[in-house]
Amino acid sequence: MNPDVIPSVPTLDDELFKTSLKVLRVTESVRELQTMMRDKSTSRSDFIFYADRLIRLVVEEGLNQLPYRECVITTPTGQTYNGLQYEKGNCGVSIMRSGEAMELGLRDCCRSIRLGKILITSDEDTHEAKSVYAKVPHDICHRKVLLMYPIMNTGNTVVKAVNVLQEHYVNEKNIILLNLFCTPQAVKQIQTKFPGLTIVTTEIHHVTPNHFGQKYFGTD
Amino acid sequence: MTDIVFKFSTNSSASDSGSGEDASSDRDASSPDNGIEAGLASPEIKSPVPKSPTKTSGGKKKGYASNPTKATRVVHTANRTLYTAGRPPWYDTHGQLKNAFVIGISGGSASGKTTVANKIIEALDVPWVSLLSMDSFYKVLNSEQHEQAARNEYNFDHPDAFDVPLLAATLQRLKEGKNVDVPVYNFNTHARDPHMKTLYGANVIVFEGIMSFTSKELLKLMDLKVFVDTDSDVRLARRLKRDITERGRDLEGVLKQYSTFVKPSFEHYIEPTMTAADIIVPRGGENDVAINLIVMHVHNQLLARGFKLRNKLANFEHKDEPMPDSLYVLVKTPQVHGIHTFIRNQETNRDEFIFYSKRLMHLLFEFAMSLLPFKSVTVETQPGIEYSGKRLSDIKMAGVSILRAGETMEQALREVIKDISIGKILIQTNLDTGEPELHYLRLPKDIRDYHIFLMDATVATGAAAMMAIRVLLDHDVPEENITLCSLLMAESGVHSVAYAFPKLKIVTTDVDKEVNEKFHILPGIGNYGDRFFGTDFTESQV
C-alpha cells in the first residue's frame, strides 16, 4: 500500500520532529494526487480537481489535531453509542494568496468556522517577507488556529505569518499549519523557531510545485 | 446509457413475431442490409417449393409489452402469489443463481400461441417475465437465398430455417437469470438488424414458436411444455382472414401456399412434437380452464423455488468468525469518530445529518480509491526535474447506487472521481414478505468493462446489496471489479456478502455488532434514507 519513500525526506531522529510534524499517510491514491499536481502537463481543470482532493485530506488530518472529549449519545434505535465531541473555539487563517485556495476545503468540513486572512509579500529589494495586511477574529488568542499555506520553500512567509499571530497573542502551541508540499529546510526553520507549532503536510521534498498559485487561480 | 425500466407489470419482450394479431409493420422497408451477421448465411435449403414465409409482415413488438399496467399489485391469495411488484431474489443465500422457470409454447401457424402466451403472462401476474420468440432467430439469408425468399421459394416453415445453436445458447443464459442480447430479425432484408434487443434475466421465461419443440436441445431447457392445438379449419380460416384483409394477398395465393407448404410442414414437423408436450391446450387462447391450470402449476413451482433470504441472512451464524479479509474499514480517527457521533445521534437535525454524512462519504470514497491498482509513472515537475509518482491504472470506473439511500452518496463519489458515470438500481423491501425486490435498473452501457463502486448508505443483512451485486454479475461484471461502499454495516451483512462474493471488496466506515428483528443495525444510525430525505415521522417540525 505504501509507495516508495522519497530519498530526500529528512531523518526523523529529532524528538521535536516526531511530535510536531504530521505527514499524511501516503497511499498510492494520495501519491497520485501529488503526481497530478506536480506534473507540468496537467490541465488547469484537473489541477484544481486534484488539488481540492488533496487539500480536503490535509484539512481532515489537521482537524484530527484538534481537542475533543468523550460523550455518550442515543441513536434512533434507542441504543447508546460512545462517541466523541469536538471542542468549540477554533478558527482558520489563510496566508494570501495561495492559502485562500484551502479555505473552501476547510469550509467543506467546518461550515461556519471563522476565517482570518494575512497578506505577506516579499520586499522587492531585500526579499524579506513583510506583513501587509491582517484581519483575524478579535478573540483569536483564545482559539486554536488552522494556518493555511499550501507550498513552503524557505518557510519565511509562514514564519512572518506566525509572527503576526503572535502579535495577536496567539500561543504557538495553538497553531496547526496546514500545508501540501514543503522542503526540509522549511520544516527545519519552523521547528527551530516555533517548536510548539504542529505542521500537517503531505510531502517533504527538495523541490516543491511552485506553480500552485498561478495554476490554481489561473494567473499564469 | 441503456435505460431498462421494469415497471410494475411491464414484461420485457424481445418478440418480433409477426403474429396473427400484429398486422401492422413498424419496420422500415428500405432499411439497409447491414446486419452484424449479414453474409454469415447458412445455405441449407431443403425445400425448393415456392413459398412465402408464413410471417411475411415485418415484426412488431408484442402489444403486451406495453399493456396497461395495474397501478398497484397486491398479494394474490387466490393464486397464492406472493410477489407484488419488484423482482424477488433469484439466487440463494450464497448468491448463487437458481434457474428461471421456462414455459415453452408450440403449435401450428395461427393456432393462437401468442394469445395463450399473453394470457398466461397476464394471469400469472408476476413481474420479471421475459417473452422470447423463435421468430427472432430465423437464419440470416445470403443473397441467393434472399432472392428465393423474394420469389416465395425459401422455406421458412422448416426446422433448419432457425439458428438453433444461438437460440439454445440464448435460452440457456436467460434460464440462468442472465441478460441476453436477442437479434432483431428483419423480414424485409432477411438479415439481423445491427442493433440487438437486450432481454433481462427474469424469473419466468415464456418461449414460443412453431418449431419450438423440434430440437431436443431446446426441450431440455423447458420446465413446462404447452402445445396449442387448434383445429386446422380454424387455423386456415384465421390465416385467410389475416392474409387477405390485413396483408392484401389474394385468396388463390394464400390457399396455394397453405396447401403446398404450411399444411405439409405442420403435419410433418409440428404435429408430431405434440407428444413432447406436458399440456395440450385445445382451442387456444379461448381455453380459460387450461390457462388457469397452467398458471396454478407455475405459481406452485415458483413458491417451491422461493427463498426466504433476509431472515436467513440476519440469522446467519458467524458469531465467532473473524471479519473477512475483503473488508476494509476506514481508520477511526477522532474526526471520523466525531462524525459518527453526529450522524448516529437521534437529536441531530437533518441539516447537520446531511452535512456530516457527506463529509464521511468523501473520506469513504478517498479510502476506496486507495484500494484500486496504481502504476508507477515519472513526470516532469519543472524543466529538467523529474518526479516518480503514481497514476491510476487504466481502468474505467462507474458508480452504481442502490436507491434510495445509496443515491445520497453519488455527489461524494463525483467529488473524488471526475466525470464518473453513475447507474442506479432500485431495490425495495416487500412489506408482506420482508424480502428485497428489484424494481428498476439503469446501468452504463458496457458495464462489464467498468470497475464498479456499488453504493448503499447502510448494509444490515446484506439482502439488498447481494441483489444488486447479483444484478452486476448477471451483466458480466467480474466479481473482483466491484467495490461495495457503505457508511455503516452490520457484522451479519459483512459476513453474508463476503461469504457469497469473496472476491468483492467491502469498504465501510464502521461495523456494528447486531441487527434487530426489523433488520435495523444496532446501535446503528436509524433509517438512513428517511433521516436524509426527511421522510420520517418524527421530524415533522423541521
Picking from B372, B389, B525, the nearest residue to A75 by CB comes out as B525
Sketch out chain B's domains with CATH numbers: 7-19+31-307 (3.40.50.300), 313-533 (3.40.50.2020)
DSSP string computed for B385-417: EEEEEEEE-S-EEEEEEEETGGGGGHHHHHHHS
Q: Which three cell numbers stand for residue A49?
A: 480537481
Picking from B347, B362, B390, the nearest residue to A28 by CB comes out as B390
Contact list in B for residue A7 (CB cut-off 8 A) is none
Q: Which helix (H) or strand (E) holds B491?
A: helix B491-500
Cβ distance B372 to A30 less than 8 Å, yes or no, reads no
Q: Exposure of A118 by Cβ count < 10 A (0-12 exposed, 13-18 middle, 19+ buried)?
A: buried
Cβ distance A40 to B362 less than 8 Å, yes or no, reads no
The closest of B247, B208, B250 to B225, measured between CA atoms, is B208
Cβ distance A28 to B335 less than 8 Å, yes or no, reads no
Q: Which three cell numbers stand for residue B390?
A: 503514481
Predicted local confidence at residue A214, as pLDDT:
87
The closest of A94, A92, A161 to A122, measured between CA atoms, is A161
Cβ distance A29 to B366 less than 8 Å, yes or no, reads yes
Contact list in B for residue A66 (CB cut-off 8 A) is 334
Cβ distance A63 to B387 less than 8 Å, yes or no, reads no
The dihedral through the CA atoms of B375, B376, B380, B382 has a sign that is positive
Predicted local confidence at residue A12, as pLDDT:
45
Q: Are B101 and B112 in contact (CB under 8 A)?
A: no
The per-residue pLDDT for range B160-177, each reduced to its tens digit, is 888 999 999 999 888 887
Read off the amino acid at residue B518.
K
Sketch out chain A's domains with CATH numbers: 15-210 (3.40.50.2020)
Predicted local confidence at residue A149, as pLDDT:
95
Distance from B389 to chain A by nearest Cα, in Å?
Answer: 5
CA B430 to chain centre: 19
Evaluate the omega torsion of the peptide bond into residue B165 and state whether it is cis, within 30 degrees of 0: no
Crossing angle between the packed helical segments B463-474 and B491-500, to the nearest 10 degrees: 20
**Interface test with chain B among A28, A60, A211, by most B beta carbons within 10 Å:** A28
Contact list in A for residue B347 (CB cut-off 8 A) is 73-74
Contact list in B for residue A30 (CB cut-off 8 A) is 370
Cβ distance A40 to B381 less than 8 Å, yes or no, reads yes
DSSP string computed for chain A: -PPPPPTTPPP--SHHHHHHEEE----HHHHHHHHHHH-TT--HHHHHHHHHHHHHHHHHHHHTTS-EEEEEEE-TTS-EEEEEEEPS-EEEEEEETGGGGGHHHHHHHSTT-EEEEEEEEE-TTT--EEEEEEE--TTGGGSEEEEE-SEESSSHHHHHHHHHHHHTT--GGGEEEE-SEE-HHHHHHHHHH-TT-EEEESEE-SS--TTHHHHHHT--
CB of B359 within 8 Å of a chain A CB? The answer is yes
Contact list in A for residue B379 (CB cut-off 8 A) is 35, 38-41
Residues above pLDDT 70, as percent of chain B = 75
Picking from B335, B391, B520, the nearest residue to A64 by CB comes out as B335
CB of B349 within 8 Å of a chain A CB? The answer is no
Dist. CA B135–CA A141, nearest whole Å: 82
The reply to whether ipTM tops 0.85 is yes
Cβ distance B359 to A30 less than 8 Å, yes or no, reads no
At residue B3 the predicted structure's pLDDT band, cuts being 50, 70 and 90, is: very low
**Interface test with chain B among A31, A73, A77, by most B beta carbons within 10 Å:** A77
The per-residue pLDDT for range B483-529, each reduced to its tens digit, is 999 999 998 889 888 888 889 999 999 999 888 877 788 899 988 88
| pLDDT surpasses 60 at B396 | yes
The closest of B524, B532, B315, B517 to B434, measured between CA atoms, is B517
Q: Are B449 and B398 in contact (CB under 8 A)?
A: no
Q: Which chain A residue shows the shortest CA-CA distance from B539?
A: A76
Q: Which helix (H) or strand (E) holds B376?
A: strand B374-382
Write b or e for each residue in B497-536: b if 16 or more Cβ atoms lie within 10 A of its Cβ, otherwise e.
Answer: bbbbbeebbbbbbbbbebbeeebbbbbbbbbbbbbbeeee
Pairing of the two strands A90-96 and B12-13: unpaired
| Chains A & B: contacts with CB separation below 8 Å | 126
**Interface test with chain B among A73, A111, A206, by most B beta carbons within 10 Å:** A73
**What is the end-to-end Cα distance of chain A in Å, rounded?**
36
Predicted local confidence at residue A145, as pLDDT:
95
Cβ distance A32 to B392 less than 8 Å, yes or no, reads yes
- What's the pTM? 0.70
Pairing of the two strands A181-182 and A151-152: parallel
Place of cell 397464492: B80
Dist. CA B479–CA A174, nearest whole Å: 48
Picking from B374, B385, B527, the nearest residue to A207 by CB comes out as B385
Contact list in A for residue B333 (CB cut-off 8 A) is 60-61, 64
Q: Which helix (H) or strand (E) holds B355?
A: helix B350-369
User: In chain B, which among 510-529 make CB contacts under 8 A with chain A?
Assistant: 516, 520-527
Dist. CA B531–CA B346, nearest whole Å: 10
Q: Exposure of B260 by Cβ count < 10 A (0-12 exposed, 13-18 middle, 19+ buried)?
A: middle
Q: Are B471 and B438 in contact (CB under 8 A)?
A: yes
- What is the rounded average pLDDT of the residues B187-201? 75
The per-residue pLDDT for range B419-452, each reduced to its tens digit, is 899 999 998 877 666 677 888 888 888 898 999 9
Picking from B388, B391, B526, the nearest residue to A76 by CB comes out as B526
Q: Are B472 and B444 in contact (CB under 8 A)?
A: no
> Across chain B, what does the average pLDDT equal?
77
Read off the amino acid at residue B139.
K
At residue B462 the predicted structure's pLDDT band, cuts being 50, 70 and 90, is: confident
Q: Which helix (H) or strand (E) holds B422?
A: strand B421-429
Q: What is the DSSP letter of B459?
A: E
Contact list in A for residue B415 (CB cut-off 8 A) is 53
| pLDDT surpasses 70 at B291 | yes
Distance from B450 to chain A by nearest Cα, in Å?
Answer: 18
